[in-house]
Homo-oligomer: A and B are copies of this chain.
Amino acid sequence: VTDIKNKHALVGIVMGSASDGEIMSVAKKMLDDFGIPVEMRILSAHRTPDEVTQWASRARESGIKVIIAAAGLAAHLAGVTSAHTILPVIGVPMEGGPLKGLDALLSTVQMPKGTPVATVAIGNPGAINAALLALRILGLGDAELQNKLEDYQRQIAEEVLKSDKELQAKIG
């Protein structure tokens, strides 16, 4: 039986292929930076369907609160995961293939009624926003985390304002 490896994990990241690892490690890093323990797995909805089912079914009892599922092409991973849990599932469409992730986006977001998937943008911005969305959800029960999220929001604002300042200096 495919069990949860990290018994402290609050967020489970599952991806359909090792090739998704580079992009999804950005999501993991953001969760690490916020001090959230993560379970990160490679499990395929099509090649290891039973393992996906087991892992998704056990996530809640193991203490996971939010699942992030990333897949490309006909991306079924997030939907299948959502079908086996009542945890919130975030879907990240991967960019791979000639259609550049449009297929993965529609396969992830156009879920029929009854089985929700919280879909974010294709590829890198989606991976980052999936982590942020998980943090916002976890923040509902964690005031300290909410403070950190407010800090983060201030910080990305300041980065924009700093870019603006540099531009003004350059323009003169």
Query: What separation, in Å, do the CA atoms of A41 and B160 have in the docked complex?
Result: 10
Quote the shortest CB–CB distance from A1 to chain B (angstroms).
13
- A 98-109 to B, binary, CB cutoff 8 A, 1 in contact else 0: 111111011111
- A 27-52 to B, binary, CB cutoff 8 A, 1 in contact else 0: 00000000000001111111111110
Pick from A65, A109, A121 the residue with the most CB of B within 10 Å. A121
A122 and B140 contact, Cβ closer than 8 Å, known pairs A74-B107, A115-B47: no
Q: How many copies does the complex hold?
A: 8
Query: What separation, in Å, do the CA atoms of A134 and B118 have in the docked complex?
Result: 10
Q: Is the CB of B99 within 8 A of A100?
A: yes
Q: Is the CB of B76 within 8 A of A76?
A: yes
Query: What separation, in Å, do the CA atoms of A45 and B117 have in the docked complex?
Result: 14
Pick from A41, A65, A107, A124 the residue with the most CB of B within 10 Å. A107
Residue in chain B with minimal CB distance to A76: B76
Q: Is the CB of A141 within 8 A of B139?
A: no
The contact of A74 among B18, B79, B86, B99, by CB within 8 Å, is B79
* Residue ranges of A at the interface with B (Cβ–Cβ < 8 Å): 5, 16-18, 21, 40-51, 53, 65-66, 72-74, 76, 79-80, 82-84, 86-88, 90, 95, 97-103, 105-125, 128-130, 132-133, 136-137, 139-141, 146, 149-150, 153, 156-157, 159-161, 163-164, 166-168, 171-172
Could you write out 5 A-B pairs with CB less than 8 Å apart? A5-B168, A46-B112, A49-B53, A106-B106, A110-B125
